[in-house]
Chain A
Amino acid sequence: MTKPSRINMDRLAHEARRGSISRRDFLNTAAAAGMTTTAATGLWTSKAHAQPKSGGHFRWGLHDGNSADTHDPGTYLSRQQIYLAHTHRSYLTMINGDGSLGPDLATAWEASDDASEWTFELNPNAVFHSGRPVTANDVIASFNHHRGDASTSAAKALLTDVTDITSDGDHTVTFTLSRGNADLGWLMTDYHLAICPANEDGTIDWQSGDGSGPYKIDNVDWGVQISLSRHDGWHGEGAYFDSVDLIVLNDPNARQTALVTGDVHAVSLIELKTMALLQRDPNIVIHNIPSAGAITMPMHCDTAPFDNVDVRNALKLAMNREEIIEKIAFGAATMGNDFHHSPAQPYWPEGIEQRTYDPDQAKSLLAKAGAEGISINLSTADSLFSGAVDMAVLYQEQARAAGININVVREPNDGYYSEVWLKKPFQMVSWGARPTPDVMYTLAYKDDAAWNESRWQNERFNELLLQAKSELDDSLRAEMYREMATLARDDGGTIIPFFNNFVYANRANVGTPEQMAASWENDGARAASRWWFTD
């Protein structure tokens, strides 16, 4: 019998905490490692199910930060800004670890019957770091920052339906919408909608970096490092670390090395290419979480040859998604089925048949459309995601079997979203996660949406989209999303190869909850307030 290695027991305990190993397996493995049953049982209860405990200085390495970032919530774009926002500011609601919607500043919210009027009750205990209580005025000012003609906020489009925001006392805020929206509670988790202190004149003070989140800012050096310490008056639960450093580590190798050497305790992204090697390090725990972020390949449905639904479906059938996920995403992805609704979002329709690689059927569809041996340009760029150009080349090979000649056009990384996106008839796009299918479909699939990237017009789909938006009955709503998914899959103009996973890692001495939110990397960008040290 060998002596139980300390490291292996830590790892075993970690597996137990994550729920990926049962008590019986835990005891068996522990016994095999040379522990007595009593000792193993003790370890199971004490170590594996240890409660989060307070203390320590958490160093958190981020993969996307720029020196020109600011505290303005309207121009939040980089991970540095978004992670910081979830650490030092509050939102009305938040996405819980299990993917459900939970309270942040708002303790309760309800909608009128047609979902066009929403009332949020604010937590009376919430205070800003400056000591001032958070009131309805701050909430109204924070939302008005994104509204109005002069607004430069990227969240403006999200709030176009909001016609009025009023308060009733200090702790009640009412949103009036021009049409019903059953998802308003979910919308409030959008990363732009952070609550900032209001100024006298109704604008907000975003410049000072004051917020009501779990940690307050001690020092900011954008693009380098941000230091925070615990906000003792925080209204939420958690915030176990005494202090937190957000460290910008844009270089993948620097990030992984810093994690391996213990210079940081967690990183927001690891390279899929080296994931398997990193997994061998017993001091490191890798999380692979399916997300609602997606890679899409829109075809302009009003441009030949994509105006023919058979051509569109032939291109969908000509893709071997299994091979793409294996070779491009290194397995860290969820297969797409050509409707933009991920299993990580609510109302995901189960049981819709998965489209598989079928070059023969693709060929016959093309013959039916009179488009055999068709040649098509596919625009892509390296900056979209790691392996984007490789994926285009792989698809080119797969489609050749269906008699389709795909010409891969490698566009410049710079300005892809201003010069290529929405302009070229067939291209690749990378989408961040959106909280609900309604937000996603409204943004990029609705007939008159500015970003209807496939220029798809389907009457029934748009009718259902509007109905589902204000439907408060969950089961009816789920049915509508199922029908919409089928329409998008069989008639739509977008190929969805896969939904990418969030792959991130932490040192083994960091405790993480059994379930983690999939809205952003690192537990919905809330690692600072949800994780803890186990040693």
Chain B
Amino acid sequence: MGDIVTLIAKRLGLGLITLLIISIIIFFMVELLPGDIAQAVLGQGATEENLAALREQMGLNKPSIVRYFEWLGGAVVGDFGESIVTGERVSAVISDRLVNTLFLAAYAAVIAVPFAITLGIIVALLRNTLFDRVANVLTLTSISSPEFFLGYVLILFLAVKSSAFPAIASLSGDLSFGELLHRTFLPALTLVLVVTAHMMRMTRAAIINLLASPYIEMARLKGTPPWKVIVKHALPNAWAPIINVVALNLAYLITGVVLVEVVFVYPGIGQSLVDAVSKRDFPVVQACCLIFAATFILLNLAADVGAILTNPRLRHPK
């Protein structure tokens, strides 16, 4: 187990360096955008005098390097600063949105992961049958359509034609948990459709890959029923690639939902990132991007640790 702790520590250290590099890249990308914050805030109606006064007020007169290190000085002690446009704490701007995004991701993941893996096992069991083909075609169709299109199709049938679910997922007032699940069902379902195919096909491929192994043949010769061969003998050895794909898709559920948020008017973090970029609000952009980057780093780490834990050979190296 000591090895795992060392691995985690090492990977976390590397992750921090990655985050630092990402923050530098993001800072200069925001700097490179045409126009500046003052221009974006005042819009077409700005005069030179206005812009100068606003730049002064926002502290934009300092060289960009100085501003970056001021921000970094705060960030290393956990202070992400204030939004340049509104003057609000970045943590206050982002926290509600992040909770919303995590909620939607969790909602979709709770449905998608068991569904995709179960479906993967079933199609592996019934491989090359009609069911297998149909399941593959349907899931591939849903992953191949852009998610906003899937969203529109769901809205058309489940909101406009049947009015079973609301077309917009705005979270206003005090909603009970049940109402919340009902309101956010369509965006969650869209995400489920987008991520299912990937996980299901990986499960299927990983299991089928193992079916040619001698120990599976042994199990079959023993007279073990096919479902038991797959669940008890093949699946434990197939976990590593499956966990990897699941982690990748979980990261996607958090970072890739901007389009779904727009289509369903869901107040998540993707929307605030887009708004912040359009206003050149660097501290908010930086915080959102670092959250996304950290999500990928942590989930990848979790996938690697998971792969080690499910593999006795890696768990007990000689």
Contact = CB atoms under 8 A, between A and B. Distances in A.
Co-complex (A, B): yes
Interface in B66-114: 83, 85-86, 93
Contacts of B160: 257, 260-261
B279 interface: yes
Contacts of A250: 262, 265
B136 to A, nearest CB: 30
A292 to B, nearest CB: 16
A436 interface: no
A153 B35 CA distance: 18
Contact of A450 (B47, B57, B167, B172): B47
Contact of A156 (B50, B159, B163): B50
Q: How extensive is the interface on chain B, given as a class? A: 35 or more
B155 A257 contact: yes
A253 interface: yes
Contact of A257 (B36, B159, B262, B272): B159
Contact of B48 (A70, A153, A450): A450
Given A227-B172, A245-B172, A419-B35, A254 B167 contact: yes
A418 B42 CA distance: 11
Contacts of B152: 253
B179 to A, nearest CB: 14
Interface string B128-171: 00000000000000000000000010010001100100111010
A415 B35 contact: yes
A263 B168 contact: yes
Nearest to B166: A263
Interface in A59-104: 66-70, 75, 77
B295 interface: no
Nearest to A223: B275
B172 to A, nearest CB: 5
Contacts of A419: 34-35
A454 to B, nearest CB: 16
Given A154-B50, A258-B168, A249 B44 contact: no
B203 interface: no
Contact of B50 (A153, A263, A414, A418): A153
A46 B271 CA distance: 46
A277 interface: no
Interface in A151-179: 151-157
A282 to B, nearest CB: 15
B172 A68 contact: no
A418 B39 contact: yes
B53 A263 contact: no
A251 interface: yes
Interface string B266-294: 01000110011011010010000000000
Contacts of B262: 250-251, 254
B45 A77 contact: yes
Interface string B25-67: 0000000011110010111111111100110010000000000
A417 B263 contact: no
B275 A67 contact: yes
A152 B170 contact: no
B168 A415 contact: no
A221 B48 contact: no
A428 B174 CA distance: 46
Contacts of B54: 152
Nearest to A247: B170
Contacts of A204: none
A412 interface: yes
* Secondary structure of the B contact surface, majority rule: helix
A396 B262 CA distance: 34
A221 B267 contact: yes
Nearest to A421: B44
Interface in B166-215: 166-168, 170, 172-173
Contacts of B296: none
B43 A223 contact: no
B42 A156 contact: no
B239 interface: no
A154 B46 contact: yes
Contact of A263 (B34, B43, B167, B272): B167
Scoring A154, A222, A414 by chain B CB atoms within 10 A of each residue's CB, the highest score goes to: A154
Given A68-B281, A156-B47, A157-B47, A414 B167 contact: no
A67 B276 contact: yes
B53 A67 contact: no
A472 interface: no
A27 interface: no
Contacts of A412: 34
B270 to A, nearest CB: 11
Contacts of B48: 450
B39 A225 contact: no
A162 to B, nearest CB: 16
Given A253-B263, A254-B167, A418 B34 contact: yes
Contacts of A68: 41, 83, 85-86, 275-276, 279, 281, 284
A70 B272 CA distance: 14
Given A77-B43, A154-B46, A450-B48, A258 B35 contact: no
Contact of B53 (A152, A260, A414): A152
Contacts of B33: 414-415
Contacts of B163: 261
A223 B96 CA distance: 13
A106 interface: no
A224 interface: yes
B279 A66 contact: yes
A258 B275 CA distance: 22
B41 A77 contact: yes
Given A253-B152, A263-B166, A223 B159 contact: no
Nearest to A249: B265
A149 interface: yes
B45 A152 contact: no
Contacts of A154: 42-43, 45-47, 50
A150 interface: yes
A66 B276 CA distance: 9
A248 interface: yes
Contact of A151 (B50, B85, B284): B50
A77 B172 CA distance: 24
A417 B42 CA distance: 11
B8 to A, nearest CB: 35
A412 to B, nearest CB: 6
A261 B158 CA distance: 11
Nearest to A221: B267
Nearest to B45: A154
A77 B275 contact: no
Contacts of A414: 33-35, 278
Contacts of B46: 154
Given A69-B86, A77-B45, A263-B166, 17 more contacts: A66-B278, A67-B93, A68-B279, A152-B53, A154-B42, A154-B45, A221-B267, A223-B267, A223-B272, A249-B168, A249-B265, A254-B262, A258-B168, A261-B167, A263-B167, A418-B39, A450-B47
Interface of B: 33-36, 39, 41-50, 53-54, 57, 83, 85-86, 93, 152, 155, 159-160, 163, 166-168, 170, 172-173, 262-265, 267, 271-272, 275-276, 278-279, 281, 284
| Closest 4 A/B residue pairs (Cβ) | A415-B34, A415-B35, A154-B45, A68-B85
16 contacts: A66-B279, A67-B275, A68-B86, A69-B86, A152-B42, A225-B170, A227-B173, A247-B265, A254-B167, A254-B168, A254-B264, A257-B159, A257-B167, A261-B159, A412-B34, A415-B34
